[in-house]
Amino acid sequence: MIDKLDKFCPVRYNAGMKILLFYLVMINLTAFGLMAVDKHRARQHRWRIPERTLFAAALLGGSLGAIAGMVLCRHKTKHWYFVVGMPLILAVQVALCVWLAGGQFVV
C-alpha cells in the first residue's frame, strides 16, 4: 500500500519517508475521526471520548486532523485549551520537523 503513494506524490521519497507519510495520514484521519465521533456522541448525550485521548492523538502527530475535526464538526471550539492547545501542538510539531530537517526541505 505504501508503494501506491508514488502516483499521488511527485517527489521521490525513500522507504522511511513513505512510512512516516503513511503514519501521519493515518494518525490525522484517526484524530479527525475521534473529533467527529465525540461530537456525534455529545449530540446524543452518550459516553464521550476523554479529552486526554483527543490531545494524545494530536500529540502523536494528528494535530492537523484534530484541528480540521474541530473546525469542520464545530467541536471543542469554545474550550480555550483546545482552541489554543491544538494549534500550539501543530506549531511545535512543525518547528520540530524543520529543526530535525536542518531547515532544508525538498519540494
At 18 the pLDDT is 86
Separation between Cα atoms, residue 10 and residue 4, nearest integer Å: 12
73 Cβ neighbours under 8 A, 6+ residues apart: 35, 36, 39
Task: Write down the pLDDT at residue 51.
Answer: 95
Q: Which three cell numbers stand for residue 19?
A: 512510512
Residue 87 grid cell: 494549534
pLDDT band at 13 (very low <50, low <70, confident <90, very high): low
> What is residue 64's predicted lDDT score, i.e. its pLDDT?
96
Please give the pLDDT value at position 66. 96
pLDDT computed for residue 105 by the predictor: 60
Note the pTM of the prediction, 2 decimals. Answer: 0.81
pLDDT tens across 28-72, in order? Answer: 999 999 999 999 999 999 999 999 999 999 999 999 999 999 999
pLDDT for 96 beyond 80: yes
Q: List the chain domain ranges.
A: 2-100
Where residue 99 falls among pLDDT bands split at 50, 70, 90?
confident
Nearest CA among 10, 12, 22, 51 for reference residue 34: 51
